[in-house]
Structure 1
Amino acid sequence: MARTLTIGLTGGIASGKSVVSSAFDQFGVEVIDADAVARDVVAPGTPGLDEIHAEFGADVFLADGQLDRRAMRRTIFADADARARLEAITHPRIRNSLAAARDQSDAPYCILVIPLLTKSQMRDLVDRVLVIDAPRSVQLERLQARDDIDDELAAQMIDAQDSRRARLALADDILINTGPRKDIADLAAAFHAGYLRLAHGELNELAPMHLPG
């Protein structure tokens, strides 16, 4: 049995990935989010959380034994070595979970939302890449408003991800998300129609699509 066509949805932090993936979800597309998987692999009682405790100590944990995400975020975005150590614990587990969920899908196509598609070396999990793009200035503004953080941490969080150039170089399709939020559903619908045709064998290849937002 042929594997389900798999679209990798990626983009910089605060580029609007969740808004776009929600639009696909509304169309009935199976959306598998790496961020949700990442939370599962470090849930209380998991080997992943135990490894984090052994590697980083109690300073990044709350009193109830759960991971203190705010403390961990500040630690890893200020220290590239710490970030690499965390990723060595989480990325293999995330990759395995995403691959398993993809292989269980019987939908015409599914979407894997993977923010660090390049750095995490998960490109081989997907057949095609849709990049949600926004200028750095837009990312900074959205990120500070969303997370209530200062300029320095927001910049560190953006810089820790794949560069905008690297993401765009990887893209088969690009959705530029700088317009009103209400337009996202229409833009996502255009991609959805193309992906369905590709999944159903009506097209052998889909011409690259670059849709402004």
Structure 2
Amino acid sequence: MTYVVGLTGGIGSGKSTIANLFAELNVPIIDADVVARQIVKKGSPLLARIADHFGPAVLTPEGELNRPFLRHLIFQNDAEKNWLNQLLHPAIREEMNAQLNAQTAPYTLFVVPLLIENKLTELCDRILVIDVQPETQLTRASRRDHSQRALIRKIMDSQVSRETRLSFADDVINNDGELADHHRELRQNVLKLHRTYLDLAERKNHERHL
């Protein structure tokens, strides 16, 4: 079984940037956001249930999930957010487990924004946290998603605190700088961790066969 490195960080921390650097090293990536999109793709049973519950406005004219609309709905209403989570989380977890179990690489990067909140750390051998200042999160996420800072802050408040996230970390990459300025440094950090994870995976595999 593959060695699982859980990668997490708050909104706007740059998880995808770091994951892409690992992907360049041919590390397989299982991304919770990708899995979440797969299980509610156009025509899926889960998407039909979401449309039944929230009404046709939750679908785009093409019949796909209108994510900005849904995000706005659930962050205004905890009961609706809980309903959606109870529908989707078991299905997402089941699919992620299946994808992890199918991996044959020495280690796999398991990218989950809510790794700690959804108690998925138990699926990981090691945890890598992408850490940034809260102000960096606000600026990046509002620029990327064209969202109001108040909404971004509400999303941040719904996630565990920076201190809690760091308390789970085995490894930390600070990603506060502008990407253009510190891309080489990030690449070097990722390469160093890549070698560490290969060693840890080999050690675990060796112990399993003793």
TM-score, length-scaled by structure 2: 0.90
Letter in structure 2 aligned against 1:169:
S
Shift of 1:79: 2.1
Q: Is the CA contact (8 Å cut-off) linking 1:144 and 1:154 kept in structure 2?
A: yes
Shift of 1:202: 8.5
Counterparts of residues 115-126 of structure 1 (less than 5 Å)? 115-126=113-124
Shift of 1:78: 2.1
The answer for the alignment partner of 1:100 in structure 2 is 98
The answer for the alignment partner of 1:134 in structure 2 is 132
Q: Tell me the distance in 1 between the aligned counterparts of 2:89 and 2:37.
A: 12
Q: Tell me the distance in 1 between the aligned counterparts of 2:178 and 2:149.
A: 24
Q: Is the CA contact (8 Å cut-off) linking 1:197 and 1:203 kept in structure 2?
A: no
The answer for the alignment partner of 1:20 in structure 2 is 18
In structure 2, stretches of 5+ residues that fail to align are none
The answer for the alignment partner of 1:189 in structure 2 is 191
Count of residue pairs brought into register by the alignment: 202
Shift of 1:120: 1.5
- Moved runs in structure 1, 4+ residues, more than 4 A? none
Q: Tell me the distance in 2 between the aligned counterparts of 1:32 and 1:83.
A: 24
Q: Secondary structure at the match of 1:8?
A: strand
Q: Tell me the distance in 2 between the aligned counterparts of 1:62 and 1:156.
A: 25
Q: Secondary structure at the match of 1:184?
A: helix
TM-score, length-scaled by structure 1: 0.89
Q: Tell me the distance in 2 between the aligned counterparts of 1:42 and 1:121.
A: 22
Shift of 1:180: 4.1
Cα RMSD for the two superposed structures: 1.7
The answer for the alignment partner of 1:209 in structure 2 is none
The answer for the alignment partner of 2:109 in structure 1 is 111
Percent of matched pairs sharing the same residue: 38
Q: Secondary structure at the match of 2:203?
A: coil
Q: Is the CA contact (8 Å cut-off) linking 1:109 and 1:199 kept in structure 2?
A: yes
Shift of 1:109: 0.4
Q: Tell me the distance in 2 between the aligned counterparts of 1:51 and 1:174.
A: 39
CA 1:202–1:93: 2 relative to 1, 3 Å? closer
Q: Secondary structure at the match of 1:52?
A: helix
Letter in structure 1 aligned against 2:200:
L
Letter in structure 2 aligned against 1:36:
V
In structure 1, stretches of 5+ residues that fail to align are 205-213
The answer for the alignment partner of 1:66 in structure 2 is 64
1:36 to 20, 28, 34: 34
Q: Tell me the distance in 1 between the aligned counterparts of 2:77 and 2:115.
A: 21
